[in-house]
Amino acid sequence: MAFVFRADPDNVGDWWSAPFRWFPLRPSTVYDLIDARQDFADEKIVVVGGGGLGTSFFKAHIERLKRADRPYKLIAWGVGVDEVRERGAILDSGKDYELFGTWFDGFDDVGIRAFSENQKYRWVPCASCMAPAFFKLRATRPDRRIGLFQHMNVPLAIAPGGEILATGNRGKNLTEKLEFLARHEFIVTNTYHGVYWATLLNRKVLCVPFKSGLFSFKHRPVYLKSPEIGDAALAAARAYPESLDEAREANIAFYRDLTAKYGDI
């Protein structure tokens, strides 16, 4: 068995999204998706994910994995799609964006983190929801009101300072990031994991969407139309106490179904 993900220790979401970190899967080889030297000729199963791998940046690497003559079963687990990405822009939340694309067509099994009324693949959000820290931290009381969690390459056009602290997805210390999110009542973010983790921690989330995958949450944040954090947006934001259990149940069910289908994977 082989696991393939974007092994970037400088991106906390990518680093902790891989399902082998959270499930008792058999010993296996782990590959970085962008390493073109990888050879899966002797593998029976290749698991891809998680992370936002359905983008033009990773297209050649995904196509290489899903070639028609592959000797292995190909599984996507907790992957995301961004058909549209406009750095520095705020996308219109009223538009109808393509949330699934064709990136993972041809895979043998697909668990995708995108959720829609017209679900193309099975909803399996990022496996990082299995981190034990969520249970402890979601029960803590926030001691601050608004926190910013920004993409490492796309800073939010909202200046931190005074009452507002900021962090982002740079680095690999998951506990540190979750502790920051948990101490705030509201999180303003433009990253998938900023929305996802804050929601799982039962916090209220406002999202500044610069890529289409940010519209694919089952538990939807409030979408901002400008960098301003207005009272109306804060009032509209809600928590989803059921979100952690639902995310974990989806991942556990996917794992069980895969083991039933492929044996002790």
C-alpha to C-alpha distance for 263 and 128, rounded to whole angstroms: 23
Q: For residue 39, give the 3-state DSSP assignment.
A: coil
pLDDT of residue 161: 61
pLDDT of 164 over the 90 cut: no
Q: What's phi and psi for 29, nearest 5 deg?
A: -95, 140
Q: Is the pLDDT of residue 160 over 70?
A: no
pLDDT at residue 188, as a whole number? 97
Q: What is the pTM of this model?
A: 0.96
Q: Indicate whether 27 pLDDT > 90.
A: no
Mean of pLDDT values over 151-175: 86
The pLDDT assigned to 263 comes to 87
162 has a pLDDT exceeding 70: no
pLDDT tens string 83-116: 999 988 999 999 999 999 999 999 999 999 999 9
Beta strands in the chain (DSSP E): 2-5, 29-32, 45-48, 51-54, 73-81, 109-112, 122-123, 144-150, 165-168, 184-189, 204-207, 222-223
Per-residue pLDDT at 147 exceeds 90: yes
- Are 191 and 150 spatial neighbours (Cβ–Cβ below 8 Å)? yes
Q: Which two tokens stand for residue 213?
A: 């995958």
Query: Which pLDDT value is given to residue 231?
Result: 93
pLDDT tens across 178-231, in order?
999 999 999 999 999 999 999 999 999 999 999 999 999 999 999 999 888 999
